[in-house]
Structure 1
């Protein structure tokens, strides 16, 4: 006897949550409604913008719900009225209290962008690159009270390459999230979904939320640490330093074992890049963005001005 497909509420907001929702819609899943954060003002014009998940849901005529918070019991009744079997959550951005976790018959699954219990929290993709991890992945987790503490049904891993940035790893994990979700829903449909495996709390590592201030490059650090920061913080908040009292964003850079000088001193500048002395080795800047300018190669930037002598 075929087990009926679950009736699903999908909760997500940014680009990371789009591929799994698209996979559900293309497969004809019963998506009763989509939860996403309220529209926000964004861009230079500060116009109201819909989340990527909302745009996809509306394009497929799926009901969209945008509560400002789920802590208020009044927000729970519309969810209960949907009579969903399962809620799938991917980078939604709002805390789900236990009362909400208990609404769907099968509870709530979370698509989390790390190999739990490593990198629980808000910025697992960037923290993995920043820390020098060689592997990342996604987990399908049964949600429980607590921050990413629930047991895991399934995971898929991917290597973190030397050229991976926050952007490239994000995009790859978003697709893996759709793959992992499809796998688990397939198991559920066959009545073969295994019991989720509890996490080892002692091995948990927390991925703190990113801030603009921490993206400032500290030239006292070693070159490899700085390179990882540049890659991790691309595309946000973008690594930066000071040049002549103004902020210079660094979009791309490579660590070099050679080169010595006072940290922050420019020791070479040319078509291959700008080499800056660090606490150990040097960092070759490849793409930069001056205040008020656009992202350009270092060659183009040097064509517009003299090579700097010192960066702060």
Structure 2
């Protein structure tokens, strides 16, 4: 079986390894090298780096909409194309090239959280579980029928980064299972997604990172976890803008107006919210690195600290 793999970020790397385990990946498609770092030099995507390590040919077209790019893909005579967070739209003509079509590894339990940021949106919404779907791709946005799926619980302290890593590994396992079943001829028929329960995970925006203290503390705590490691929640705390890397919600009802420091001590900095309070545990000052709230308080002598 000839497999073409298409992916770009870290999330796709475990799936690339799973697809390549049988020596069947004939080419890897990934986005063109982009400027990165302080020097803004061109950097290869994580998928490109892994493909080169595995000795697999890499292709980096700007788009797959052109005839030349489609002819190049067709010349590979792929039996299957596996797409994992590629970042480019696959036209209908591309979807029809592989003998078995195109599969997508998507980090949610479809039809919930179609779209760009399913991992973070699941945490932000307070979902108790999420998972991975192996989907047969079609022209719509994550609308294709599901071949296989697997679910996991979302931990009470789970961040976007931790859940990302767990789902990346789970996605590789589901993909490996699907490929094995395809080889054996035991792959179950794809299940159309139900019309009920559709939600969209819109792309993350830096503007969302600004916390609104009038919201309930539980809502803000979920945002802090969802937006770690990017874009990282931020807020005004006692007149200073801080990035907030870790926080927990407290049910206590403070008399203070929301946004005020209700208490501060070695356990953290408690900010009154619309409901309850948010205890800041790890913060980052402008131009600094992430530090514990206790270390931050050592530098903010103007804040009253309880022993």
Question: Which residue is equivalent to 1:137?
Answer: 131
Whether the 8 Å CA contact 1:243–1:308 is kept in 2: the answer is no
Question: Which residue is equivalent to 2:182?
Answer: 188
Q: How far apart, in 2, do the equivalents of 1:29 and 1:116 lie?
A: 30
Question: Which residue is equivalent to 1:106?
Answer: 100
Among 272, 278, 282, which residue is 2:277 paired with?
282
Question: Which residue is equivalent to 2:263?
Answer: 268
**Matched residues, number:** 303
Question: Which residue is equivalent to 2:76?
Answer: 82
Question: Which residue is equivalent to 2:4?
Answer: 9
TM-score, normalization: structure 2?
Answer: 0.96
Among 156, 174, 183, which residue is 1:162 paired with?
156
Q: CA deviation at 1:60?
A: 1.3
Question: Which residue is equivalent to 1:242?
Answer: 236
Q: CA deviation at 1:245?
A: 5.8
Question: Which residue is equivalent to 2:209?
Answer: 215
Q: CA deviation at 1:244?
A: 6.3
Question: Which residue is equivalent to 2:57?
Answer: 63
Whether the 8 Å CA contact 2:237–2:259 is kept in 1: the answer is no
State the Cα deviation string for residues 89-139 of structure 1 (Å, max 9, x = none): 000011101011111111000000000000000000000000000000000
Whether the 8 Å CA contact 2:238–2:260 is kept in 1: the answer is no
Q: Which runs of 5+ in 1 are unaligned?
A: 1-5
Q: CA deviation at 1:186?
A: 1.1
Q: CA deviation at 1:70?
A: 1.3
Q: How far apart, in 2, do the equivalents of 1:259 and 1:286 lie?
A: 19
Q: Which runs of 5+ in 2 are unaligned?
A: none
Q: How far apart, in 2, do the equivalents of 1:20 and 1:247 lie?
A: 39
TM-score, normalization: structure 1?
Answer: 0.95
Taking structure 1 as reference, are residues 101 and 307 closer, same or farther at Cα in structure 2, changes over 3 Å only? farther
Q: How far apart, in 2, do the equivalents of 1:60 and 1:210 lie?
A: 32
Question: Which residue is equivalent to 1:291?
Answer: 286
Q: How far apart, in 1, do the equivalents of 2:132 and 2:101 lie?
A: 19
Root-mean-square deviation (Å) = 1.2
Taking structure 1 as reference, are residues 113 and 237 closer, same or farther at Cα in structure 2, changes over 3 Å only? same
Is 1:301 aligned with 2:299?
no
Whether the 8 Å CA contact 2:81–2:102 is kept in 1: the answer is yes
